[in-house]
Amino acid sequence: MANTTFNGPVRSENGFKDITVTAATGAETTNSTFSNNTTIGGTLGVTGVTSATGGVVVGAASGLQLISTTVTTGTIAVTDDTATVVTMTQPAGTILKDLIAWPAGNIVTGGSSGNDLDIYIGTSSEGAQLMAATALMDDGGSAVTWVANTPLYIIKDSHGTAANQFATTGVGPKGGPATTEAIVIAAALYSAAARAIYITLEPIGADLATAATTVKYVAVWQTL
């Protein structure tokens, strides 16, 4: 059959199939199906930018898979002892491999000892079952700054970090807070069942000096 050009959308209630036909026998083989759940046979070549909504899964179902999800806070609270909470869904049978966070604008602590920005992670709203409250920005008497668009690996390869890991004079990224408490994992990051994970940011000791911004989190879940 010659190529056919349609001027308008092509519609089907039951999807589309790409097939090959064996010349000798007439047997049909389905290569790809296009429906609510699309299967591509062979190699898929994509040009341009590919956008995906929802989680992105990399890897075969029978092997290692990495599933990525993203969530962004509203404008985070600058007021002392006021929590900003976001929720992510952990897929069943996965461990939290990486948790990366970065702000859209600068965040600056108050500048007096104890004026910290705490982060904690739990399985309930404002819970700390997975990671206790930890000073992500540990103000010891001098204002600490987390520079806009500086990604911090809060959790990396399912591990915590040493104190001051994000210092710009150390191994941290340029623009990370100069002082951070050690990040310690408090409970297993693996879950056999899907569950909600709550991530909380909370200023303590005093209001933040500058924080009219949002924070984006990217989680990478690894199948086990």
For each of the domains in the chain, give its residue range(s) and CATH number, in order of start.
56-223 (2.60.120)
Reply yes or no on whether the pLDDT at 49 is more than 60.
no
pLDDT at 27: 80
| Residue 134 vs residue 61, higher pLDDT | 134
Provide the percentage of residues in the chain whose pLDDT is more than 90.
65
The reported pLDDT for the residue numbered 56 is: 57
Dihedrals phi, psi of 37, to nearest 5 degrees? -120, 110
Instruction: With a cut of 70, say whether residue 48 has pLDDT above it.
Output: no
pLDDT tens-digit readout, 52-85: 555 556 555 556 788 999 999 999 999 999 999 9
Tell me what pLDDT residue 62 has.
Answer: 55
Give the rounded percent of residues in the chain with a pLDDT score beyond 70. 86
pLDDT digits (tens, 9 = 90+) for 86-130: 999 999 999 999 999 999 999 999 999 999 999 999 999 999 999
CA dihedral of residues 133, 178, 163, 209 (deg, nearest 10)? -10
Residue 143 corresponds to which tokens in the numbers above? Answer: 């204002």
Residue-level pLDDT at 196? 98
- Average confidence score pLDDT of the chain: 88
- What is the model's pLDDT at position 17? 79
Please report the pLDDT score of residue 5 as a whole number. 78
For the entire predicted model, the pTM comes to: 0.76
